[in-house]
Structure 1
Amino acid sequence: MNVRDFMITKVYTIKPSNTVKDLLNILKTNRIGGVPVVDDRDQLLGMVSDGDVLRYLSPTPMGIAGLVYIIEVGEMEDVLREKLNTPVKEIMTKRNLIYVSPTEEFETTIRLLSKHRLKKLPVVNGAGRVVGVLSRGDIINNIYEQIIDN
């Protein structure tokens, strides 16, 4: 069994110049946890997830040993609004990208997701274009449908 047999082909992507606000809209509207970042030719440039957003938006510790947060009343909302205009390229994962091809075997994909503790894997064809995505849920559903529900 290959990745192409169970990957999602309706892939939501985002451009590096889109804002964090645009990203949040895609994540919320489509009830997903992350998307590939692509250029105008759908070439994979990076990945960005809800975890990347949370890490970016979280308050920065200040003070002695970084244990004190200095936030005035109303200031947090202003900081969040400002950060929402940041381009996705500033918070996306760009190095050591892990992806699979449509012909990759099911077992290899499970190992990659497990070993690297990934939630999503982009599926990239030989030309470098994102043609699908796999999530842990896709793997679980595939196991259920192929083995348990048979």
Structure 2
Amino acid sequence: MGIKSFMGRRAKPTKGSSENIKVSDYMSKNLTTFRADQSVLEVMETLIKKKISGGPVVNDKYELVGIISEGDCMKQISESRYYNQPMEDIKVEQHMAKNVETIDGNMNVFDAANKFLTSKHRRFPIVEHGKLVGQISQKDVLIAALKLKGQTWK
């Protein structure tokens, strides 16, 4: 399994500064998660119903095992049409990304913004002690930036 965690530099924060704003302060904790044995069709229905673009895949112990996205579902649609397979038979584990990059919940939000810029990811899961605890999206970083707009960013 290839889960890689990225931890940004840890500068000494000054009290009340934007350096003190951590990913864990803005991450989503109430996540829609998926299971590896679910059908991709179920995932597609959930993505549409909840208006989300993807989500983490966890096992019974709530350990992160992958990520499934709209793009992964699109590939599946194309393949099932080409091979004439019923979509109900295709499972998440066949199409999820398994090499998942995570980031540390203690990372500064602005370091996370830079991480989004240097990667092609729309979201990063946050794992603590092997368990999924949250997820930060590009939108979460924008929300943090708007809340801090009156401060001087260093």
TM-score by length of 2: 0.77
Counterpart for residue 54 of structure 1: 74
* 2:89 partner SS: coil
1:15 aligns with 2:35: yes
Stretches of 4+ aligned residues off by more than 3 angstroms: none
Counterpart for residue 124 of structure 1: 127
Task: Tell me: CA distance 1:2–1:15, structure 2 relative to 1, closer, same or farther (3 Å).
Answer: same
How far 1:24 moved relative to its partner? 1.0
For the 8 Å contact 2:31–2:135, the answer to whether it is kept is yes
1:91 aligns with 2:111: no
1:37 aligns with 2:57: yes
* 2:135 partner SS: strand
Cα deviation per residue 1:77-114 (whole Å; 9 max; x = unaligned)?
A: x947x12431100000002x211122122122112211
Cα deviation per residue 1:106-150 (whole Å; 9 max; x = unaligned)?
A: 12211221111111111111x11111111111111221122169x
Tell me, in whole angstroms, the C-alpha distance in 2 between the residues paired with 1:59 and 1:46.
Answer: 20
Q: Structure 1: any 5+ residue segments left out of the alignment?
A: 61-75
Aligned length: 131
* 1:99 partner SS: strand
Tell me, in whole angstroms, the C-alpha distance in 2 between the residues paired with 1:13 and 1:86.
Answer: 18
Tell me, in whole angstroms, the C-alpha distance in 2 between the residues paired with 1:38 and 1:107.
Answer: 27
* 1:36 partner SS: strand
* 1:147 partner SS: coil
Most deviating of 82-91 and 35-44: 82-91
Identity %: 22
Tell me, in whole angstroms, the C-alpha distance in 2 between the residues paired with 1:35 and 1:148.
Answer: 32
Q: 1:101 aligns with which of 98, 101, 104?
A: 104
Letter in 2 for 1:29: K
Counterpart for residue 63 of structure 1: none
How far 1:27 moved relative to its partner? 0.7
Structure 2 counterparts to residues 45-84 of structure 1, below 5 A? 45-58=65-78, 76=81, 79=84, 82-84=86-88
